[in-house]
């Protein structure tokens, strides 16, 4: 009974907001994918904020998930509204205050990334969809942008997206996502590329320069420099996979690669600093596990760092093996060929933008003896053709990346 009363009052309240709202000209509200910690999410948020500012948006608000979220890597944020009580208790008070705040903005952008299909649990996805719905009810032009959709989405998430108000525009970040969404939702979906393709590298920082100098020394010595990222999420992807086994699989693969490419050097690239077992911990463990002959030609990038710094760091690499999608995007954006360890069914769509396929390996094959190094060597031998194809397609992909943030 109480819920029905609050719901009725909320409907009346949002109707009034919609009727009388006077948004500030040149304003936009942005909802990040998650709390800080993932360099990939930070790349998306940074790109969105910077591009909006370049459009002349002079007031940018941010929606946060926790009171202790720190967005210090962003500049130009006018205000931050925390939804913690909504996420934890579905607070009606927060709903009312959010709609009042959102109604003062011209546009609202939900950065969906890989959170909209229920892969990490339907609750996260449904709450983000609910926030988009609330903003639309308050009359705010709303977009869910830069997101992918896997082949087995949670039915609750499909239904929630399907029943969003028609005023909420959906922007799938790859052709495969577009196909899946169009088939599942029976509503208009627009094709874009991930906004992280618009991220500008920042090569002038001390951290980037330290990596540049190491890469230059290795290449001056006649070596090829290969980027390696081991994603801690793989520990959840392969049944009964323990950290030691994953670390050993990468260490062995690197030594097998060196046996075939005797002048190989390796730059280990953590891309997520969250959790007890993070990318950083994996990189350090792999560095320790390889033979000394390999280790003397290895370096771990300094962390924490900004995604724009990582994009600058990868520019001088010859080839990259990535377990993270946004590290792959950083590489592709610099014209560097990359292959990926696929998870959550999202990498294939990314490569479709570049009219390439066969560049992913499944998580279970990473820990199968010999498979990771064999896959790497096969694709490494195609690196020049792959790099040329990336360069051909990159301008069109960057144009698509700008579409979802363009004016109404």
pLDDT tens-digit series, residues 222-233: 999 999 999 887
Do residue 297 and residue 381 come from a single domain?
Answer: yes
Q: How long, in residues, is the chain?
A: 408
Q: What is residue 115's predicted lDDT score, i.e. its pLDDT?
A: 94
Q: What is residue 408's predicted lDDT score, i.e. its pLDDT?
A: 55
Query: Mean of the pLDDT values across residues 105-123?
Result: 95
Do residue 212 and residue 332 come from a single domain?
Answer: yes
Tell me which of 87 and 114 has the higher pLDDT.
114
- CATH number of the domain encompassing residue 139: 3.40.50.11930
Among 407, 309, 408, CA closest to 52? 407
69 falls within a domain = yes
Cα 320 from Cα 216, distance rounded (Å)? 17
Do residue 119 and residue 164 come from a single domain?
Answer: yes
Mean pLDDT lowest among 72-76, 117-121, 152-156, 330-334: 72-76
What values do phi and psi take at 110, rounded to 5?
A: -100, 120
Locate 85 and state its tokens: 């009580």
Query: Mean of the pLDDT values across residues 349-365?
Result: 96
What's this model's pTM, rounded to 2 decimal places? Answer: 0.95
Do residue 232 and residue 380 come from a single domain?
Answer: yes
Do residue 88 and residue 232 come from a single domain?
Answer: no
Tell me which of 219 and 238 has the higher pLDDT.
219
Do residue 355 and residue 229 come from a single domain?
Answer: yes
Q: What is residue 75's predicted lDDT score, i.e. its pLDDT?
A: 86
Cα 62 from Cα 78, distance rounded (Å)? 8
| 68-78: burial string, b at 16+ Cβ within 10 Å, e else | ebebeebeeee
Cα angle for residues 316, 196, 41 (degrees, 5° grid): 105
Q: What is residue 202's predicted lDDT score, i.e. its pLDDT?
A: 94
Tell me which of 374 and 304 has the higher pLDDT.
374
| Count of structural domains within the chain | 2
Cα 115 from Cα 130, distance rounded (Å)? 13
Do residue 117 and residue 237 come from a single domain?
Answer: no
Q: What is residue 2's predicted lDDT score, i.e. its pLDDT?
A: 81
**What domain range is 172 assigned to?**
15-192
- Which among 165, 192, 219 is the end of a domain? 192
Q: 3-class secondary structure for the chain?
A: CHHHHHHHHHHHHHHHHHHHCCCCCCEEEEECCCCCCEHHHHHHHHHHHHHHHHCCCCEEEEEECCCCCCCCCCCCEEEEEECHHHHHHCCHHHHHHHHHHHCCCCEEEEEEECCCCCCCCHHHHHHHHHHHHHHHHCCCCEEEEEECCCCCCCHHHHHHHHCCCCCCEEEECCHHHHHHHHHHHCCCCEECCCHHHHCCCCCCCHHHHHHHHHHHHHHHCCCEEEEECCCCCHHHHCCCCCHHHHHHHHHHHHHHHHHHCCCEEEEECCCECCCCCCHHHHHHHHHHHCCHHHHCCEEECCCCCCHHHHHHHHHHCCEEEECCHHHHHHHHHCCCCEEEECCCCCHHHHHHCCCCCCCEECHHHHCCCCHHHHHHHHHHCCHHHHHHHHHHHHHHHHHHHHHCCCCC
243 falls within a domain = yes
- CATH number of the domain encompassing residue 289: 3.40.50.2000
């Amino acid at each position: 009974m109480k819920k029905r009363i609050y719901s009725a009052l909320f409907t009346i309240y949002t109707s009034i907001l919609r009727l009388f709202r006077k948004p500030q000209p040149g304003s936009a509200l942005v909802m990040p994918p998650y709390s800080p910690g993932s360099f990939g999410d930070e790349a998306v948020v940074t790109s969105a904020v910077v591009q909006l500012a370049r459009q002349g948006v002079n007031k940018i608000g941010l929606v946060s998930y926790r009171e202790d979220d720190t967005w210090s890597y962003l500049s130009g944020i006018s205000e931050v509204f925390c939804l913690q009580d909504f996420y934890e208790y579905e607070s009606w008070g927060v709903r009312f205050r959010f709609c009042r705040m959102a109604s003062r903005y011209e546009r609202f952008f939900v950065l969906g990334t890989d959170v909209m299909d229920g892969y990490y649990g339907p609750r996260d996805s449904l709450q983000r969809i609910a926030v988009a719905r609330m903003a639309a009810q308050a009359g705010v032009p709303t977009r869910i942008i830069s997101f992918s959709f896997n082949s087995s989405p949670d039915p609750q998430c499909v239904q929630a997206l399907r029943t969003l108000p028609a005023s909420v525009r959906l922007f799938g970040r790859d052709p495969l996502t577009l196909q899946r969404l169009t088939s599942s939702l029976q509503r208009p979906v627009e094709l874009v590329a991930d906004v992280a393709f618009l991220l500008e590298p920042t090569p002038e920082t001390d951290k980037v320069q330290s990596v540049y100098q190491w890469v230059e020394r290795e290449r001056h010595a006649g070596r090829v420099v290969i980027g390696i990222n081991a994603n801690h999420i793989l520990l959840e992807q392969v049944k009964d996979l323990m950290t030691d086994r994953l670390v050993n699989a990468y260490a062995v693969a690197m030594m097998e690669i060196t046996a075939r490419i005797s002048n190989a050097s390796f730059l280990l690239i953590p891309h997520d600093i969250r959790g007890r077992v993070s990318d950083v911990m994996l990189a350090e463990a792999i560095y320790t596990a390889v033979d000394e002959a390999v280790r003397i030609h290895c370096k771990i990038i300094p962390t924490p760092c900004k995604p724009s710094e990582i994009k600058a760091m990868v520019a001088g690499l010859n080839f990259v093996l990535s377990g993270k999608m946004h590290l792959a995007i950083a590489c592709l954006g610099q014209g560097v060929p990359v292959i990926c360890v696929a998870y959550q069914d999202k990498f294939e769509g990314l490569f479709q933008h570049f009219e390439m396929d066969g560049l992913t390996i499944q998580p279970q094959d990473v820990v199968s003896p010999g498979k990771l190094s064999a896959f790497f060597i096969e694709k490494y031998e195609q690196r020049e053709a792959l790099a040329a194809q990336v360069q051909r397609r990159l301008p069109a992909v960057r144009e698509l990346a700008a579409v979802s943030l363009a004016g109404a």
